[in-house]
Amino acid sequence: MNFINPEPMTADTTALVLVDHQVGLMTGVRDYPVAELKHNVVGLAKAAKALGLPIVTTTTSAKTLWGPAFPELAAALPGHDFIDRTSVNAWDDPRVAAAIEATGRKNLIFAGVSLEVCAAFPAMTAQRKGYNAYVAMDASGTFNQTKRDTGLLRLSQAGVVVADGASLMVEILADNARPVAREVYGALHMDWAVLVGQVRDGVEPADRAA
């Protein structure tokens, strides 16, 4: 069981996997305010795009059970392919597994509804397969607090790193002097995004080196 991930998270080593942020499932979320959850999921997706991370998205039985991805997420990922499946564990669908493996990334950030199944199951599978698995807790929701608490406990027991999505994106950003910093902070709707941009624009290369 790998409790310490050996590789730093960078844009070259990390991919994002969004699982089942569907209209029908989102309406059942009770452990997190739905509006805030949507806000966090969209921000995570936009920040990942800004950083150039590969993004894999999936739904479960969209036409017969829980509907499509919620509209704000679909709008944030225009033209993106949401792989629709029937398997409980997203990784058990060969198309999803192939899409994740095709990213070539060792660090995988998962988020999903529900947390304890849709996010946790593929994250634990990834960990068993030798990937470094993370779950963005604030971009994952479930149907009551017990499910959230036990899901978190099981993830921790499995060696999956749990964090908030914004912290993971900022870790990948690594340097506020990067030109993409303003876009990343803006995607995450952080209050200091404008200030970061002003500081970056006002710092001379010699100052950065110092």
Domain presence at residue 71: yes
146, 199: one domain: no
Which range of residues forms the domain containing residue 109?
Answer: 14-174
Per-residue pLDDT band at 7 (split at 50, 70, 90): confident
124 shares a domain with 166: yes
Task: Count up the domains in the chain and report the number.
Answer: 2
> Where does the pLDDT of residue 54 fall: very low under 50, low under 70, confident under 90, or very high at 90 and above?
very high
Co-location of 169 and 209 in the same domain: no
Same domain, 166 and 183: no
Q: Which residue has the tokens 């849709």?
A: 118
> What local confidence, expressed as pLDDT, does residue 197 receive?
59
Residues 114 and 186 in one domain: no
Q: Is 121 inside a domain boundary?
A: yes
Q: Is residue 199 part of a domain?
A: yes
* Residue 40: closest CA among 108, 140, 116, 113: 140
CA 163-140-8 angle, 5° bins: 30
Q: Residue 195 corresponds to which tokens in the numbers above?
A: 């200030």
Quick one: 71 and 103 in the same domain? yes
Q: What are the DSSP E strand ranges found in the chain?
A: 14-19, 55-60, 82-85, 107-112, 132-136, 161-163
| Residues involved in catalysis | 118
Q: 6-10, 87-91, 200-204 — which is least confidently predicted?
A: 200-204
* Within-domain flag for 72: yes
